[in-house]
């Protein structure tokens, strides 16, 4: 693989861009609100140290050693592992489609927030009722032109980033990481200026240990670690393949993990202080979608006395969230495109627009009246059920194979003092991670088969169909890569010459 990041800093920037997304800015604060603030933070940090960082190192090190994406990496661990790698890539591709839809929503909300603030109209839930006209039943009977244009603009930007390869990924991350973080800092400073900011910080950081017995708390904290660090979805092996040879993987992974956690905490401070200051603390939801389009607009409208200033603040805020969604979406697309280029010897500049056009066509369902239901179902199947299965399978493959057990040597190859403890790595990957995930996931899968609160046809279209595509992607890729038998016509016998 010829492409490489120019330095360790480029790898860190691109990886942080992949990790820092809507899960940090929206879902993480909501989970803190639901599960006692400090209690959720305590479990999240423990899971990050014991589970997230070892697996993050393993994926980056395997990608550098094999110099390939997830299919090649998983194929090096066991026979048939390539199918697991293609499933991870397919899962990332569908996640990118979801992220593009959400980025379109955020961009459209940013356009709408300015006139809403100026008119004095209540912006809470305005987006779903007046822009998408979502019915909440999953039925498509209309489409929003504004959201269509926003989604199309998002795909154009993602395609341009994708065509540029490793260099463009790290360059784009300088913009899509630092701008949102700077805006979150500004919002946090404004929130801390409210008189009841101390109450908000106490709600965020003080633990409620009576909630430790809740299985939902544990599975959500663990799921946030894997989802936020983009583990088991093919991103880190692809980025690891672009790593310079003498890069210190362990120190880079620590920077990525703690930067991701720091942004999550910063976003939580911004949300808690803002909504407490505006008297909306009882409206915080674990659903990032509800928070972004119901709670945040109302809070932004009350940030300042001047409506015009509130409108500008809202525009900048939603623009920053759009950048987060776009960077994560580009990373997901890279995880799918990189192995395709290697497997089928395609050219990036030609393959990237084709992939974006095909995926983009599907994402326009998020501009219809069925968008809210489509996002809720697809996100639950793709980014929860599928990620758990893929993560357990990857840990088992790493733990059983000789290649996987030997990765600490690759991780520490260019480390002088700071090294990954091999005992921690092996215990986490081989035993702790798969055991904890299986134990905590059983009740969640029981709920799935007991029935979700959606119509069966909607579950199939937006959930089961995507999961079937993910887990059959490996078989499809192998069939497509098999050389076809060419049947040549038998040459005609030469004409007989007369005597």
Q: Does residue 269 sit within a domain?
A: yes
Task: Tell me how far the alpha carbon of residue 336 is from its chain's centroid.
Answer: 13
Predicted local distance difference test score (pLDDT) of residue 486:
46
Q: Does residue 406 sit within a domain?
A: yes
CATH number at residue 186: 1.20.1740.10
Instruction: Supply the DSSP string of 138-171, one letter for each residue.
Output: -----B-HHHHHHHHHHHHHHHHHHHTHHHHHHH
Q: Does residue 128 sit within a domain?
A: yes
- In sequence order, what are the beta bridge partners of 143? 368
Q: Does residue 489 sit within a domain?
A: no
Predicted local distance difference test score (pLDDT) of residue 485:
46
Q: What is the Cα–Cα distance from 419 to 254, expressed in whole angstroms?
A: 11
Q: Does residue 493 sit within a domain?
A: no
Q: What is the Cα–Cα distance from 6 to 244, expressed in whole angstroms?
A: 7
Q: What is the Cα–Cα distance from 305 to 14, expressed in whole angstroms?
A: 38
Enumerate residues 6+ apart whose C-beta is below 8 A from 227.
23, 383, 384, 387
Q: Collapsing DSSP states into helix, strand and coil, what is residue 455? A: coil
Instruction: Supply the DSSP string of 345-402, one letter for each residue.
Output: T--HHHHHHHHHHHHHHHHGGGGBTTHHHHHHHHHHIIIIIHHHHHHHHHHHHHHHSH
CA distances from 98 to 47, 163, 214 (A): 26, 20, 29
Q: Using CB atoms within 10 Å of the CB of residue 488, give its burial: 0 to 12 exposed, 13 to 18 middle, 19+ buried.
A: exposed
Q: Does residue 199 sit within a domain?
A: yes
Q: Does residue 309 sit within a domain?
A: yes
Q: What is the Cα–Cα distance from 138 to 146, expressed in whole angstroms?
A: 20
Q: Which domain holds residue 191?
A: 8-479
Q: What is the Cα–Cα distance from 383 to 1, expressed in whole angstroms?
A: 29
Closest by Cα among 461, 446, 392 to 87? 392
Total domains, the chain: 1
Query: Each residue's pLDDT tens digit in the chain (499 positions)?
Result: 456 677 677 777 777 776 677 778 878 888 888 787 889 999 999 999 999 999 999 999 999 999 988 999 999 999 889 999 999 999 999 999 999 999 999 999 999 998 988 887 777 778 888 899 887 888 889 999 999 999 999 999 999 989 887 666 666 666 767 888 888 888 889 889 989 999 999 989 988 888 888 888 888 888 889 888 889 999 899 888 888 888 889 998 999 999 889 999 998 998 888 888 888 777 766 666 777 787 778 778 877 888 888 888 888 888 888 988 888 898 899 899 989 998 888 899 999 999 999 999 999 999 999 998 999 899 889 988 999 899 999 999 999 999 999 999 999 988 878 899 999 999 999 999 999 888 878 888 888 888 788 889 999 999 999 999 999 998 888 777 665 544 455 555 565 555 4
Q: What is the Cα–Cα distance from 109 to 327, expressed in whole angstroms?
A: 18
Number of residues written out for the chain: 499
Q: What is the Cα–Cα distance from 98 to 295, expressed in whole angstroms?
A: 21
Q: What is the Cα–Cα distance from 250 to 239, expressed in whole angstroms?
A: 14
Q: What is the Cα–Cα distance from 58 to 433, expressed in whole angstroms?
A: 13
Q: Collapsing DSSP states into helix, strand and coil, what is residue 143? A: strand
Q: What is the DSSP letter of 281?
A: G
Positive/negative CA dihedral, 104, 105, 108, 110: negative
């Amino acid at each position: 693989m010829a492409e490489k990041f120019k330095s360790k800093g480029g790898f860190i920037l691109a990886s942080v861009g992949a990790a820092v997304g809507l899960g940090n800015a929206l879902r993480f604060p909501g989970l803190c609100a639901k599960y006692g603030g400090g209690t959720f933070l305590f479990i999240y940090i423990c899971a990050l140290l014991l589970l997230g960082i070892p697996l993050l190192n393993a994926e980056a090190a395997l990608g550098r050693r094999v110099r390939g994406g997830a299919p090649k990496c998983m194929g090096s661990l066991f026979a048939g592992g390539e199918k697991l790698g293609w499933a991870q890539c397919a899962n990332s591709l569908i996640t990118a489609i979801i992220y593009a839809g959400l980025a379109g929503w955020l961009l459209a909300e940013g356009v709408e927030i300015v006139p809403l603030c100026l008119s004095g109209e209540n912006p809470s839930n305005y987006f779903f009722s007046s822009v998408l006209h979502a019915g909440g039943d999953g039925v498509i009977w209309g489409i929003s032109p504004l959201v269509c244009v926003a989604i199309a603009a998002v795909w154009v930007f993602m395609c341009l980033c994708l065509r540029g390869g490793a260099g463009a990924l790290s360059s784009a991350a300088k913009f899509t990481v630092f701008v949102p973080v700077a805006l979150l800092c500004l919002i946090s400073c404004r929130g801390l200026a409210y008189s009841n900011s101390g109450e908000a910080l106490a709600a965020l950081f003080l633990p409620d240990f009576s909630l430790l017995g809740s299985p939902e708390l544990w599975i959500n904290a663990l799921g946030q670690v894997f989802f936020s660090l983009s583990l088991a979805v093919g991103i880190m092996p692809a980025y690891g393949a672009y790593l310079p040879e003498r890069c210190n993987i362990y120190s880079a992974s620590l920077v990525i993990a703690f930067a991701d956690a720091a942004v999550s905490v910063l976003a939580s401070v911004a949300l808690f202080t803002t909504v407490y200051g505006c008297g909306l603390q009882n409206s915080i939801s674990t659903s990032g979608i509800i928070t972004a389009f119901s709670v945040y607009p109302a809070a932004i409208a009350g940030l300042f006395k001047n409506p015009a200033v509130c409108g500008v603040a809202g525009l900048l805020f939603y623009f920053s969230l759009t950048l987060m969604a776009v960077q994560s979406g580009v990373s997901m697309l890279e995880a799918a495109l990189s192995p395709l280029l290697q497997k089928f010897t395609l050219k990036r500049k030609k393959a990237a627009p084709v992939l974006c056009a095909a995926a983009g066509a599907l994402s326009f369902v998020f501009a219809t009246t069925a968008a809210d239901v489509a996002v809720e179902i697809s996100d639950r199947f793709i980014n929860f059920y599928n990620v758990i299965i893929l993560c357990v399978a990857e840990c088992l493959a790493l733990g059983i194979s000789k290649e996987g057990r030997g990765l600490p040597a690759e991780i520490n190859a260019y480390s002088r003092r700071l090294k990954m403890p091999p005992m921690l790595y092996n215990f986490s990957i081989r035993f702790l991670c798969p055991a904890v995930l299986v134990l905590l996931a059983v009740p969640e899968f029981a709920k799935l088969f007991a029935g979700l609160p959606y119509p069966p046809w909607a579950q199939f279209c937006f959930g089961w169909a995507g999961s079937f595509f993910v887990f059959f992607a490996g078989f499809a890729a192998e069939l497509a890569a098999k050389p076809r038998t060419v049947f040549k016509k038998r040459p005609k016998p030469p004409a007989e010459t007369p005597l």
